[in-house]
Structure 1
Amino acid sequence: MRYGVVVEEFAVEVMAQLPDNRARKEVLALVEVARMDPRAWPDVRDPGSVEEIREAFGRQRWIHLMPHAGAVEVRDIGWAG
């Protein structure tokens, strides 16, 4: 965990496939914004799920995250750039 962020293996793989450093920086900036207030983003969990899944999004990127006490777990990353 770094700065209250845990990144799942799948999300790490997606980050490695982003087209350039600009894309990585934009995704990491979104992670930081979401970490500061994860519950400000919509809850997108499946009906009946006990895991709280939030979706944070920017112009060309999105992440799925799970809030934990003082931290977030990044489950998935998307890039449309």
Structure 2
Amino acid sequence: MHRRGTVFEELAVEVMAELPTDEARCEVLELVELVRADPRGWPDVRDPGSVEEIREAFGSRCWIQFMPQAGAVEVREIGWAG
């Protein structure tokens, strides 16, 4: 799945499809847009020694794990607590 400078990994696409409401999907996509605007403004959570830059961002009821890419972000995981 691609969305304006964002690539969603397969697991993230599956989670998006399983979110309970359109409101939930909108909340996740709003967080993705915030991340896309400033991908390095969120905490780096990679394991020591990892070469992949992995970051996490949190909304009020959701979170995403992503990797900044050249001009884009790759959403790897989505969590929903709503």
TM-score, with structure 2 as normaliser: 0.95
1:18 is matched with 19
Runs of 5+ in structure 1 lacking a partner? none
Give the deviation of 1:48 after TM superposition.
1.0
Percent of aligned positions with the same letter in both sequences? 73
Match of 2:60 in 1: 59
Which whole-Å CA distance do the structure 2 matches of 1:20 and 1:3 have between them?
A: 22
1:68 maps to what in 2? 69
List structure 1 segments (4+ residues) > 6 angstroms apart after TM superposition: none
Instruction: Find the counterpart in structure 2 of residue 77 from structure 1.
Output: 78
Structure 2: give runs of 5+ residues left out of the alignment. none
- TM-score, length basis structure 1: 0.97
